[in-house]
Structure 1
């Protein structure tokens, strides 16, 4: 028979709970629109008790966004097996899973604002971008990228971020199409760079040599060939 006695949480357990509650609220509204009172009510505790675990509103936001940033960075991890095009497509699927699940919070994190514009949260954004950059280089098998390759990879990461933010504003393009388009965008950026640089050209030839005829990169070539023929 239930006694109705609430179990007392330890400090770290309570902190994890509050961070989880904040993230859930951020999934539906911007962090700037979520109050400490709402977080306290959702956690089933008083407002003063929230401040017992976090010294201020910004510190809770930063802790919640840190967890979200770590989760987002992990979405770029992928076993380095199989064709690159298929790997990137799976990465984009997980990336958009996150964007879809945490729309307002993702938008606030990437666009900044009064609640998330601190140096700490800016560092979190940079850490996500750097984690994605390192992962993509690993998939390419590159340790020391050339300036042109660095430009391609970082430009593509920025493009994925911008595309997701625009998509959140109405979701007017099917998500699956955007995921595939972003994989095609990566190949296109690499191809344009390859037209100017022999090292990039060699890397692109190597990447395409391992792609199957039914893979994302081959599909892009087919679409472009059809445009030229027309």
Structure 2
């Protein structure tokens, strides 16, 4: 008869385990409501051992947030193939997958969690927004965006964040409808700017050129025309 012996984890392996456990707990409840004792119990170690790897819950929260931020930024990466509307829709589906998986933690981060206001936390949030911004520009084929385009893209990213937070509070609108609405919102923001700026007008014409008749951009155009008639 053999007796199972628990393998001792190395320092970095244990740190990564604790980050994963903390992220899972923070995804289920607000980080404010999760104690070090709970994290230790879920990891199968003692409370003092948690403090051996992290000086406190704030540092562990920031480490978990870094992992989540890297994950979220990666969800905006999309092959530059096919119509822009379809690409953005796939990005929004992955974005809401993340929101679904990490609801309480996502809400706590955006509304105010234990690490909000710290330099490290603000930098992580900004890094995700910047990654999303750069990805959208790459899909538009633009490296040096004009001021109006930068305003449109950054406003849209903020809109996606606030929409996700509102949706988490009751989920009263079907998720798929919101994903499609946000894609159309991007087109609408760009169209409003294009109506008063020729440079944006040229960009919107390119956006619509390869859009299929059943795509989200074309659908929006058709509905707006129907409303005006």
User: TM-score with structure 2 length normalisation?
Assistant: 0.98
1:22 & 1:97 partners in 2: Cα distance?
Answer: 19
Q: 2:194 maps to which residue?
A: 194
Give the alignment of 1:56-95 within 5 angstroms. 56-95=56-95
Would you say the 8 A contact 1:32–1:115 is kept in 2?
no
Question: Residues 119-141 of structure 1, C-alpha deviation per residue, up to 9 Å, x if partnerless?
Answer: 11111110100000000000000
Cα RMSD for the two superposed structures: 1.0
Would you say the 8 A contact 1:31–1:115 is kept in 2?
no
2:155 & 2:66 partners in 1: Cα distance?
Answer: 24
Give the alignment of 1:172-187 within 5 angstroms. 172-187=172-187
Q: 2:117 maps to which residue?
A: 117
Structure 1 residue runs without a partner (length 5+): none
Q: 1:212 maps to which residue?
A: 212
1:190 shift after superposition: 0.2
Q: Evaluate the alpha carbon distance shift between residue 24 and residue 2 of structure 1 in structure 2; reply closer, same or farther with a 3 A threshold.
A: farther
2:209 & 2:116 partners in 1: Cα distance?
Answer: 44
Question: Residues 1-58 of structure 1, C-alpha deviation per residue, up to 9 Å, x if partnerless?
Answer: 5623211101111111000000100111011111110000000000000011112221
Q: 2:55 maps to which residue?
A: 55
1:19 & 1:88 partners in 2: Cα distance?
Answer: 30
Number of residue equivalences: 229
1:161 shift after superposition: 0.3
Would you say the 8 A contact 2:212–2:218 is kept in 1?
yes
Q: 1:104 maps to which residue?
A: 104
User: TM-score with structure 1 length normalisation?
Assistant: 0.97
1:24 & 1:73 partners in 2: Cα distance?
Answer: 18
Question: Residues 72-104 of structure 1, C-alpha deviation per residue, up to 9 Å, x if partnerless?
Answer: 000000001110000000000000000001001
Q: 2:144 maps to which residue?
A: 144
